[in-house]
C-alpha cells in the first residue's frame, strides 16, 4: 500500500488534473523537442555516414584523355594512392513531355561488381546493367516518374540517340536529388557507352588517397604527384578537382540549429516547472505548515514536491518520447532521406539514447523543481500556519500606484483594468518569472520566422545575382557575333550576352596549387549580373587583369583579400592578376569573375565565347522553358553544339530545396516554441487565479458581479500576454539578426540577408492574446462558480 504522504501527492495531482496535464504537456513538448533532435541526429548521421562509408567516395578526380583500366591500375600502385578507378561521364537529355527535356548524366563504370571508388549500391531490379541497359540513381527514377523495365530515350550531346532499358536502381550517396542538382544520373557499362557514341574507355581517374584524406593540402599534393606522373607518361592532364562534401555542412548546420532550439525549448519547459512548483508551494503554504506541525521534516516536504515533478516528468516522457521517435522516423522518411539521398538500412534507435531521453525527461524537471521546492519549504511552521492566503505584504507603492490613480482619475482607464494592472504588478518577482518564459518564447518564435524570411530574402538575392533568364552552355568556343545573331533570332529573346567559362587554379607562392574553381569571363559592364559585393568593387570596363572572387574562394584561400596579387593558371596559361573585389557565393562553389576580353586574349580565343546568357521577354518559368528549348533548337540548327541549358527559375527551385529542410526545421521549432509559450501562459493564468481565489471571494462579497470578476481576471491575463509580447518583440530584432547571421555563416559562409518577419510578430500577438483570454476564462469561470462562503473558506 502506498504511503500516505505519497497518496497526498497523487491525490493533489488528480484533483488538479487540468494543471497536471498542462504542465506535463509543456514538459512533453521539451522532451519531444530534445528527443526529436537526438533521434533525428542519430538516424541522419548514422545512415548518412554508413552510406558515405559504403560508397568509398573519391578524394580527387583527375581528367585526362581516354585511358584503359590498366592505366588506372598503374596509378593505384602509386604509394600515396590507395585505389584509382576510371569513369567516363557524358551528358545528354531525355524527353519528359512535349518539347520539354531533362538533362541526363550518364556514367560508365569498368566493373560494377568490383567498384572500390564512388561505389553505387544496388537497390531494385537487376544489377549490374547489361548491354543497352542503364541503372538509374533511385532518386532519378522517382524524379522521372518512370519504372524499372521501361525504356529511357536518351539523346547524347554528341547527337547519338538510343533507347536504354532501365534495368534497376542504385544508391549513389554523393548524388543529391535531381530537384536540387538539376540532372538525372544513370550508370552504364563501357560497351553501352560506346553505343551512345562515347568512348568505351575512361576520361576521369577517381582516386582515393592512402591516408590523411581529410587533409585537403595533402590530397592536393597527391593529386599534383599523380598529375606529374600522368604527364611524364605522355598524357595531358585536362584538369582535376577535389569533390566538395557539401551535404555534410548542411547536415552539421541543421544539427546545430535543431540542437540549439531543442535545448532552448527544454530550458523553457524547465523554467515552466520552476514557475509551477513555486506557485504550487505558494498555494500550499498552509498545508506545508500543517505537515511541519504534525512532524514533517523539510526534506520530507521537499520530497513531496519532487515526486510531484517526477510524475509530471513521467507523464511528459510517456507522451513526448514515443512521439519524438515516431516524428523523427517520419521526418527521416519524408524529408531527409529524399533531400540528402540517404537510403536507411534501419530506423532503430539505441536503447542508451532512449534511456538518455527518459533521464532528461525525468531529471531535468526534477532539477528545475528542486530550487523552488528548497526555497518554498524554507518557511517556518509558524509563518506557514499564519499565511492568510492573501499576500502578507501589501503591494509596494512605487511609481505604479500613483500613476494608476492618476490614470483612473483622468478617466483614461476603467476600474477593472486598474485592478488587473495592480494584481499583475503586485508580485514583481513572480511576474518576472512568468514573463521570462513568455518573453523568451515570443522573441524566439519571431526570430525563428525572421530567419525563415531572411532565407527567402537571401534566395531572392541569389536570383537577382543572375539578371538573365536562360543560360546556354556550348560544347566549345564559338564566335560572339554568330552566337548573338542566332540567339536574337529566337522569338521572345529580349537581350543577349556572351560569356566564357572554364576552370582555373591558383598557383600559390609556395608552389602548390589550389583546388580548381570556376572561371566566369564576362563583359565588365555586364547588365546580367547584380552581385552582392562583400569587399572592394565589381569589374570595370577599363580593367585588365582584374579578378573578382567569390566568398567560397576566400574560404579555401584565406590569405586572399582585396588588392592581393595572385597567379592564376587558366587553361594552362599562367598570369598574375589583382583581386579587386569579393562577392557573395551563389551556393554554387568557388568561382572567379574576369573581363572576357582579357581572358579570351590570354587563352587564345579572342572574339569567342562558350556561353550565351539570354534575357527573355517574360520571366515566368513557362516562358523561360519555352525560350530555352527554342534556343537549343536554333543553336543546333546553326551547327553550334549545346552541352547544357538552364533557366533561373530552375536555379531558384534548386536553391529553395537546399534551404527547405532548414526552413521546415525552423517552422517546427517555432511551433514547438509557440506550444511551450502558450502552455506557459495557460499554466500561469490558472495558477494566478487559484492563488487569488480568496481575493476574488472578497471582491464578490463586497458586491462585484460575476462579469466584473471575469473581466478583471481576463484583463490580467491579456495584460501579461501583451507585456511579454512587447518585450519579446523588442528583443526579437537583435536575436533574429544574430540568428540569421550565424545560420548564414554556417550554411553559406555569408550572413543571410536580414529580413524581419513582421508577420510572425503580428501572428504571435494575436495568438498570445487569444491564448491569454482562453487560459484566463477557465479559471475565472471556476472562481465565480464557488459561493462566496466557499471561496472565503478556501484552503
Q: List residues near other proteins by CB under 8 A.
A: 1-5, 7-8, 11-12, 15, 286-287, 289-300, 380-382, 385, 795
* R_g of the chain computed on alpha carbons: 34
CB of 7 to other proteins, least distance (A): 6
Q: Identify whether the C-beta of residue 746 lies closer than 8 Å to the C-beta of residue 737.
A: no
Q: Which one, 15 or 464, has the nearer CB to other proteins? A: 15
Q: Is the Cβ–Cβ distance between 59 and 209 less than 8 Å?
A: yes
- When the beta carbons of 6 and 246 are compared against other proteins, the nearer one is 6
Residue 93 CA from chain centroid, whole number? 32
- Whether the Cβ atoms of residue 146 and residue 100 lie closer than 8 Å to each other: no
Grouping H, G, I as helix, E, B as strand and the rest as coil, residue 155 is strand
CB of 319 to other proteins, least distance (A): 25
Which residue, 380 or 633, is less far from other proteins as judged by CB?
380
Q: How far is the CB of 766 from other proteins (least distance, A)?
A: 38
DSSP 345: S
C-alpha cell at 262: 531543442
- Please state, in angstroms and rounded to a whole number, the distance separating the CA atoms of residues 75 and 99: 45
Query: Smaller CB distance to other proteins: residue 72 or 291?
Result: 291
CB of 286 to other proteins, least distance (A): 8
Rounded least distance, CB 299 to other proteins, Å: 8
Cα 745 from Cα 708, distance rounded (Å): 54
C-alpha span between 211 and 741 (Å, rounded)? 36
Neighbours of 35 (CB within 10 A): 30
User: Rounded to whole angstroms, how far apart are CA atoms 284 and 376?
Assistant: 10
Whole-angstrom distance, CA of residue 246 vs CA of residue 549: 19
Q: 401 vs 656, which CB is nearer to other proteins? A: 401
Whether residue 661 contacts residue 490, with contact meaning beta carbons closer than 8 Å, is answered with no
Closer to other proteins by CB, 171 or 692: give it: 692
**8 or 588, CB closer to other proteins?**
8
Q: List C-alpha distances in Å: 163 to 87, 95, 104, 149, 193.
A: 21, 11, 13, 12, 12
Least distance in Å: CB of 438 to other proteins?
A: 30
CB of residue 306 vs other proteins: minimum separation in angstroms?
16
Q: Least CB distance from residue 396 to other proteins, whole Å? A: 13
User: Residue 552's Cα: distance from chain center in Å?
Assistant: 19
Side-chain half-sphere of 483: how many Cα atoms within 13 Å?
A: 26
110 contact partners, CB below 8 Å, separation of at least 6 = 69, 72, 85, 86, 190, 202
Strand partners for 171: 121
For other proteins, the closer of residues 10 and 330 by Cβ is: 10
Say if residues 277 and 309 touch (Cβ distance below 8 Å): yes
First to last CA, the chain: 28
Which of 571, 569, 573 has the alpha carbon at shortest distance from 508?
569
* Shortest Å distance, C-beta 388 to other proteins: 12
Q: Nearer to other proteins by C-beta: 392 or 464?
A: 392
Quick one: 370 or 385, whose CB is closer to other proteins?
385
CA distance 440 to 669: 13
Positive or negative: CA dihedral 535, 538, 540, 545: positive
Q: What is the smallest separation between the CB atom of 749 and other proteins, expressed in angstroms?
A: 60
Contact status, residue 391 vs residue 426, Cβ threshold 8 Å = yes
Kindly state the smallest distance separating residue 293's Cβ from other proteins, in Å: 6
Which CB atom, from 730 or from 793, has the smaller least distance to other proteins? Answer: 793
User: Which C-beta is closer to other proteins: that of 15 or that of 537?
Assistant: 15
Nearer to other proteins, 193 or 291 (CB): 291
**Cα dihedral sign, 90-585-468-622:** positive
Cβ atoms of residues 574 and 510 within 8 Å: no
**CA dist., res. 269 & res. 218, Å (int):** 48
Nearest approach, Cβ of 386 to other proteins (angstroms)? 9
Nearer to other proteins, 258 or 296 (CB): 296
Nearest distance, CB of residue 3 and other proteins, angstroms: 5
Which residues are CB-neighbours of 198 under 8 A, at least 6 positions away?
88, 90, 106, 108, 156, 158, 160
The minimum distance between CB 6 and other proteins, in angstroms, equals: 9
Q: Which is nearer to other proteins, 247 or 379 (CB)?
A: 379
Closer CB to other proteins, 5 or 426, in the complex: 5
Instruction: State the minimum distance, in angstroms, from the CB of residue 19 to other proteins.
Output: 14
Question: Nearest distance from residue 697's CB to other proteins, in Å?
Answer: 16
Judge contact between 366 and 295, C-beta under 8 A: no
Q: Report, in Å, the least distance between residue 297 CB and other proteins.
A: 5
Q: Which residues pair with 570 in a beta bridge?
A: 504, 573
Q: CA-to-CA distance for 103 and 581, rounded, in angstroms?
A: 34
Q: What is the DSSP string of 238-272?
A: EEEE-----HHHHHHHHHHHHHHHHHHHHHHHHHH
Q: Residues, the chain, total?
A: 795
The residue among 12 and 183 lying less far from other proteins, judged by its C-beta, is 12
**Pairing of the two strands 533-536 and 573-583:** antiparallel
Amino acid at each position: 500500500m502506498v504511503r500516505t504522504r505519497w497518496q497526498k501527492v497523487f491525490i493533489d495531482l488528480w484533483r488538479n488534473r487540468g494543471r497536471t496535464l498542462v504542465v506535463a504537456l509543456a514538459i512533453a513538448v521539451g522532451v519531444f523537442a530534445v528527443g526529436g533532435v537526438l533521434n533525428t541526429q542519430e538516424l541522419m548521421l548514422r545512415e548518412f555516414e554508413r552510406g558515405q562509408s559504403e560508397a568509398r567516395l573519391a578524394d580527387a578526380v583527375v581528367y585526362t584523355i581516354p585511358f584503359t583500366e590498366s592505366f588506372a591500375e598503374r596509378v593505384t600502385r602509386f604509394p600515396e594512392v590507395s585505389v584509382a578507378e576510371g569513369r567516363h561521364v557524358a551528358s545528354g537529355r531525355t524527353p519528359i513531355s512535349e518539347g520539354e527535356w531533362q538533362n541526363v548524366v550518364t556514367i560508365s563504370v569498368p566493373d560494377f561488381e568490383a567498384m572500390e571508388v564512388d561505389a553505387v549500391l544496388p537497390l531494385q531490379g537487376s544489377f549490374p546493367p547489361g548491354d543497352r541497359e542503364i541503372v538509374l540513381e533511385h532518386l532519378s527514377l522517382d524524379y522521372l516518374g518512370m519504372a524499372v523495365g521501361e525504356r529511357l530515350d536518351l539523346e547524347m550531346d554528341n547527337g547519338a540517340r538510343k533507347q536504354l532499358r532501365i534495368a534497376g536502381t542504385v544508391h549513389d550517396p554523393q548524388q543529391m536529388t535531381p530537384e536540387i542538382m538539376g540532372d538525372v544520373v544513370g550508370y552504364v557499362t563501357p560497351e553501352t557507352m560506346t553505343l551512345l557514341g562515347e568512348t568505351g574507355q575512361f576520361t576521369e581517374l577517381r582516386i582515393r588517397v592512402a591516408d590523411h584524406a581529410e587533409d585537403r593540402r595533402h590530397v592536393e599534393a597527391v593529386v599534383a604527384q599523380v598529375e606529374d606522373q600522368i604527364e611524364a607518361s605522355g598524357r595531358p592532364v585536362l584538369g582535376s578537382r577535389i569533390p566538395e562534401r557539401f551535404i555534410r555542412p548542411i547536415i552539421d548546420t541543421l544539427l546545430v540549429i535543431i540542437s540549439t532550439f531543442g535545448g532552448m525549448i527544454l530550458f523553457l519547459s524547465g523554467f515552466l516547472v520552476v514557475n509551477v512548483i513555486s506557485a504550487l508551494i505558494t498555494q500550499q503554504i498552509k498545508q506545508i505548515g500543517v505537515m511541519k506541525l504534525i512532524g514533517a521534516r523539510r526534506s520530507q516536504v521537499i520530497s513531496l514536491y519532487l515526486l510531484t515533478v517526477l510524475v509530471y516528468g513521467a507523464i511528459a516522457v510517456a507522451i513526448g518520447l514515443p512521439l519524438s521517435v515516431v516524428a523523427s522516423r517520419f521526418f527521416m522518411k519524408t524529408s531527409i532521406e529524399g533531400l540528402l539521398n540517404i537510403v536507411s538500412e534501419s530506423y532503430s534507435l539505441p536503447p542508451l539514447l532512449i534511456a538518455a531521453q527518459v533521464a532528461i525527461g525525468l531529471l531535468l524537471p526534477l532539477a528545475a523543481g528542486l530550487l523552488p521546492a528548497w526555497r518554498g519549504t524554507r518557511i517556518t511552521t509558524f509563518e506557514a500556519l499564519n499565511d492568510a492566503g492573501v499576500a502578507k505584504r501589501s503591494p509596494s507603492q512605487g511609481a505604479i500606484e500613483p500613476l494608476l490613480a492618476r490614470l483612473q482619475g483622468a478617466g483614461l482607464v476603467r476600474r477593472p483594468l486598474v485592478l488587473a494592472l495592480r494584481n499583475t504588478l503586485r508580485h514583481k518577482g513572480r511576474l518576472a518569472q512568468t514573463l521570462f518564459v513568455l518573453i523568451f518564447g515570443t522573441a524566439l518564435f519571431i526570430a525563428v520566422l525572421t530567419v525563415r524570411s531572411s532565407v527567402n530574402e537571401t534566395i531572392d538575392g541569389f536570383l537577382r545575382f543572375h539578371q538573365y533568364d536562360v543560360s546556354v552552355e556550348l560544347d566549345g568556343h564559338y564566335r560572339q557575333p554568330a552566337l548573338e545573331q542566332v540567339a536574337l533570332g529566337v522569338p521572345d529573346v529580349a537581350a543577349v550576352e556572351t560569356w566564357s567559362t572554364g576552370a582555373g587554379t591558383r598557383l600559390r607562392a609556395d608552389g602548390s596549387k589550389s583546388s580548381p574553381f570556376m572561371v566566369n569571363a564576362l563583359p565588365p559592364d555586364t547588365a546580367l549580373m547584380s552581385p552582392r559585393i562583400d569587399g572592394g568593387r565589381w569589374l570595370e570596363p577599363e580593367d585588365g587583369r582584374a579578378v573578382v572572387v567569390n566568398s567560397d574562394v576566400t574560404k579555401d584561400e584565406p590569405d586572399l583579400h582585396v588588392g592581393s596579387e595572385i597567379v592564376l593558371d587558366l587553361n594552362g596559361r599562367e598570369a598574375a592578376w589583382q583581386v579587386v573585389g569579393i562577392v557573395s557565393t551563389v551556393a554554387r562553389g568557388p568561382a572567379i569573375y574576369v573581363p572576357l576580353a582579357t581572358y579570351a586574349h590570354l587563352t587564345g580565343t579572342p572574339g569567342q565565347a562558350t556561353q550565351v546568357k539570354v534575357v527573355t521577354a517574360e520571366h515566368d518559368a513557362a516562358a523561360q522553358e519555352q525560350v530555352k528549348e527554342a534556343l537549343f533548337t536554333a543553336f543546333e540548327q546553326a551547327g553550334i553544339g549545346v552541352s547544357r541549358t538552364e533557366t533561373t527559375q530552375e536555379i531558384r527551385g534548386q536553391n529553395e530545396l537546399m534551404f527547405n529542410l532548414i526552413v521546415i526545421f525552423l517552422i517546427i521549432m517555432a511551433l514547438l516554441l509557440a506550444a511551450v509559450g502558450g502552455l506557459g501562459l495557460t499554466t500561469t493564468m490558472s495558477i494566478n487565479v487559484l492563488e487569488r481565489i480568496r481575493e476574488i471571494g472578497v471582491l464578490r462579497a463586497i458586491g462585484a458581479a460575476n462579469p466584473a470578476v471575469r473581466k478583471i481576471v481576463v484583463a490580467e491575463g491579456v495584460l501579461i500576454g501583451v507585456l511579454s509580447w512587447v518585450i519579446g518583440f523588442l528583443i526579437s530584432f537583435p536575436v533574429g539578426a544574430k540568428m540569421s547571421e550565424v545560420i548564414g555563416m554556417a550554411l553559406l559562409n555569408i550572413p543571410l540577408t536580414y529580413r524581419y518577419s513582421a508577420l510572425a510578430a503580428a501572428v504571435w500577438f494575436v495568438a498570445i492574446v487569444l491564448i491569454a483570454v482562453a487560459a484566463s476564462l477557465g479559471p475565472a469561470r471556476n472562481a465565480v462558480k464557488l459561493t462566496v462562503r466557499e471561496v472565503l473558506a478556501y484552503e
